């Protein structure tokens, strides 16, 4: 059995609690990810089976965060 790849991404941002209400933890076949608040940072802890899974997870969460921020800035 091979070791999993691990990554931690910390992003300093405002309105972390609002973003965390929308973001969900993921537990899939290629990767698992947990999002949480640490001080003034949004933290993503990621474990992946391979480099492709790690990249897919990072890209997915970054795009979700960008979309959430854009929606929060838009008056509905």
- Domains annotated for the chain, with CATH where assigned, are 5-73 (3.30.310.50)
- Tell me the mean pLDDT in the region 37-66: 93
What separation in angstroms does the CA of 35 have from each of 2, 23, 74, 76? 25, 7, 24, 26
Model confidence at 76, in pLDDT bands (50, 70, 90)? low
- Tell me the mean pLDDT in the region 11-37: 89
Instruction: Decide if pLDDT at 1 tops 50.
Output: no
pTM of the model: 0.80
CA angle 4, 43, 14 (to 5 degrees): 160
- Tell me the mean pLDDT in the region 20-48: 91
d(CA 71, CA 65): 10
Cβ count within 10 A of residue 23: 18
Instruction: Decide if pLDDT at 18 tops 70.
Output: yes
d(CA 38, CA 75): 28
């Amino acid at each position: 059995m091979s070791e999993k790849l691990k990554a931690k991404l910390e992003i300093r941002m405002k309105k972390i609690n609002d973003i965390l209400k929308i973001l969900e933890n993921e537990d899939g076949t290629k990767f698992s990810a947990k999002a949480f608040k640490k001080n003034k940072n949004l933290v993503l802890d990621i474990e992946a089976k391979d480099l492709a899974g790690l990249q897919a997870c990072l890209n997915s969460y970054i795009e979700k965060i960008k979309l959430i921020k854009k929606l929060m800035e838009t008056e509905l």
